[in-house]
Structure 1
Amino acid sequence: MPVEQPRARVSLGGVELGGVVELEVEAAGLYQAGRYRLVCAASAASLLPLAMDGGAPVPILLEIGADGFGFAPLLSGLVETVRFDLARGVAVLQGRDETALLIDTEISQSFVNQTASDVALAVAQAHGLAANVTPTQTLIGQYYQIDHARSALTVGARASTQWSLLCGLAEVAGFAVSVVNGTLNFGPMLDGTTRMVTARNFLGLEVDLITALPASVTVRSWNCRDKKVVTQAAGSGKATNLVRPNLTTQQAGEYASAYLQNVQRHAQLLLGRMPGDASYAVGDTLLLSGTQTALDGSYQVAALQWRLNDRDGFVQSLKAYGVA
């Protein structure tokens, strides 16, 4: 149910911060961090110690609620920058969600004889995150046909941080990876809530049809173990070519099919603006009806942003791809 008479609640290090003037939150998506921008009427005197402490970033929790409905979390993250607008008498706080912990942490250990899920569990534990991890069986060295040990050096430039490593492992396994409200998710992309919508649910609604997309994908790889070139393709027509290291024939074929499927998702793009609803999430499915055209159908939410201010109230903007 959409939130009525919305108001924001902001907690810094567990202490509630009043005087919220404006709030923007970009929900965490697949392979990307959530972000926020908060404008508050707090005085410089109250926030200056926070900005000049020089220690670890202060945790922040952003929630939205209304009388009688309690509060729903929008983002749990860190304060990374504080700007004081002395003319207006406000402070602007910006930062990312807890994905930033992984993005900013370089790989400093070897993952000897471990699977992708073992790595994900170790990373979650290192940062005090809850873990929603689907078990995997293949040792990660086998993904690349090299060793079963992946050290900071053998990972190389392709994965210099914990986040880039997890994203690479998720890509190979056909998984999704995200950090949402204190939980590291590593596993198959799950279907979100299915919602019936019409144009009347939106303050603004557009659908873009993209006609210049590749119709086929060719993946080429040099397999170090077998010492041979591997080439696999998916689809037919206008092509795009990819080069990926150390894939087997089966892996190259699966990669080509998955990549083509992902590219073709962009053929139909829904852009909408609507009253804010904190229950929406990336991965939700919108069943659009009422246009009486081929534009009616299923769209999966890929990006979501909430805004709260005095002028517009609580609104959200979303981007969703058509689902065949």
Structure 2
Amino acid sequence: MLNQIPTTGSLVSPRAILKVGSTVIDWTSWEAEHNSIYEAGTFRVEVPAVFGDWPWWTQQTEIIVDVYVGFPKDPENYSSQDLTLLQTFRIDEIRINAATQGISLVGRDLTSLLTDQKIDVKFPNQTAAQIATTIAKQVGLTPNVQSTKDLIGHFFTLDHVSLHREKTMWTLLTYLAQHEGLQCFVLGRTLYFGAFGSALSSEPYLIQYDPPTADRPYPMSNALDIDFAHDLTLAQDVSVRVRSYHGEKNAAYTSIATASRTAKRIERDAQLAQTLQRYDFTFAGLTQAQCDAKAQQLLAQISQHEFKMSAKLPGDTLIYPWTPVVVQGTNTPFDTTYAAARIKRRCQADPPRFDMTVHGKTVTAQQSVELS
């Protein structure tokens, strides 16, 4: 496991440094949120200020904040090199409170460099990896890109996506990543495009829950608070039907993916039980094989929400959206593996406090496909 269980109970002193360029800025509190790996994370920091500081802040056209946090050996004498770079954020808005003279900075991580810019360049003879590298360099990010083989003109042809319509850089990159079965996210000033899950976090983060006993009439956990939710709608058997008309082949195709408590399968045609929770989707230009794949993909996405977990924990720098979270000890179906959909960290200067909240949803097992 990434974290140590049971906890040692030793005293730790979390520290944080916020830097704008090479300048360390004062702060009273901040919140940093990592969303799922296809979304930009958000950030807010409260900066103590006096009236004389207002002109400098309001004259800035771009503010980039590096957030470092950790547990230095000497909590009274440390630098950013003794901490972990949690994330880099680009400030979207400056808010000034005239009564307190304080300043709030609100922004997003550097994924925003990609979500805010549209691209109209055609890449028919390049691979997804080549495009990711080009785009990263164009916006000033360092590319960490794994090689791919297929030319993207093949993707657009299969999906009947227009090459002549402007898209944001981020829309294009995540589209390509999904087609290649890869991850796409920004951490610090680096764009990651590839299969980084196991490399970044090969071990899960453990939340251990020990229920009350006769000798100890209260539960124990390494989480400060933990909540679970079970979606009873998705707990029923789920059916996803994908339909498509392929103009070139002059043919209509249907694929039905079903999931039950005991089995998952794909069918071309089926008499569905009345207890199924049904979802219908229509896409243009898919072949039968593409209908099958799309139905399975949508089934997996919907089934992920059956079990949910939210846990408040002492803050650390071990867990990210690609880190699997394992819950043990409840002796219920909630003892399972979750994907960390959202992680919010909060840090306060006085009195010192560092905690985080992790929101997770269940990770579906790899489904087998049976075609009938």
What TM-score comes out, normalization by structure 1 length? 0.88
In the TM superposition, residue 149 of structure 1 has moved relative to its aligned partner by: 10
Map 1:228-239 → 2, pairs under 5 A: 228-235=251-258, 237-239=276-278
Aligned residue for 2:205?
Answer: 195
Residue 340 of structure 2 is aligned to residue 319 of structure 1: no
Distance 1:181 1:28 in 2: 14
One-letter amino acid of the counterpart of residue 58, structure 1: I
Greater alpha carbon shift after TM alignment, 165-174 vs 24-33: 165-174
One-letter amino acid of the counterpart of residue 130, structure 1: T
In the TM superposition, residue 148 of structure 1 has moved relative to its aligned partner by: 11
In the TM superposition, residue 180 of structure 1 has moved relative to its aligned partner by: 1.3
Distance 1:71 1:225 in 2: 58
Q: CA separation of 1:270/1:118 partners in 2, compared to 1, >3 Å: closer, same or farther?
A: same
In the TM superposition, residue 258 of structure 1 has moved relative to its aligned partner by: 1.6
3-state SS in 2 of match to 1:244: strand
One-letter amino acid of the counterpart of residue 134, structure 1: Q
3-state SS in 2 of match to 1:79: strand
Match of 1:41 among 28, 31, 48: 48
Map 1:62-101 → 2, pairs under 5 A: 62-68=67-73, 70-101=82-113
Greater alpha carbon shift after TM alignment, 248-257 vs 167-176: 167-176
Map 1:264-283 → 2, pairs under 5 A: 264-283=303-322
5+ residue gaps, structure 2: 5-10, 75-81, 210-220, 260-275, 366-372
5+ residue gaps, structure 1: none
Residue 20 of structure 2 is aligned to residue 12 of structure 1: yes
Deviations 1:129-174 (A, max 9, x none): 22233333222222232799964x2xx3xx6211111222223333
Distance 1:132 1:211 in 2: 41
Map 1:77-226 → 2, pairs under 5 A: 77-145=89-157, 151=163, 153=164, 156=165, 160-188=167-195, 190-191=197-198, 192=201, 193-199=203-209, 200-213=221-234, 215-226=238-249
Aligned residue for 2:296?
Answer: 257
Q: Calculate the aligned-residue CA RMSD, in Å.
A: 2.6
Residue 279 of structure 2 is aligned to residue 240 of structure 1: yes
Residue 71 of structure 2 is aligned to residue 61 of structure 1: no
Greater alpha carbon shift after TM alignment, 243-252 vs 115-124: 243-252
What TM-score comes out, normalization by structure 2 length? 0.77
Distance 1:221 1:263 in 2: 20
One-letter amino acid of the counterpart of residue 49, structure 1: W
One-letter amino acid of the counterpart of residue 68, structure 1: K
One-letter amino acid of the counterpart of residue 229, structure 1: A
In the TM superposition, residue 263 of structure 1 has moved relative to its aligned partner by: 1.2
Q: CA separation of 1:251/1:136 partners in 2, compared to 1, >3 Å: closer, same or farther?
A: farther
Residue 75 of structure 2 is aligned to residue 52 of structure 1: no
Q: How many residues align?
A: 316
Higher-Rg member (1/2): 2
Aligned residue for 1:30?
Answer: 37
> Does the aligned pair in 2 maintain the 1:85–1:91 contact within 8 Å?
yes
Q: CA separation of 1:246/1:51 partners in 2, compared to 1, >3 Å: closer, same or farther?
A: farther
Q: CA separation of 1:224/1:98 partners in 2, compared to 1, >3 Å: closer, same or farther?
A: farther
In the TM superposition, residue 311 of structure 1 has moved relative to its aligned partner by: 5.6
Distance 1:121 1:73 in 2: 23
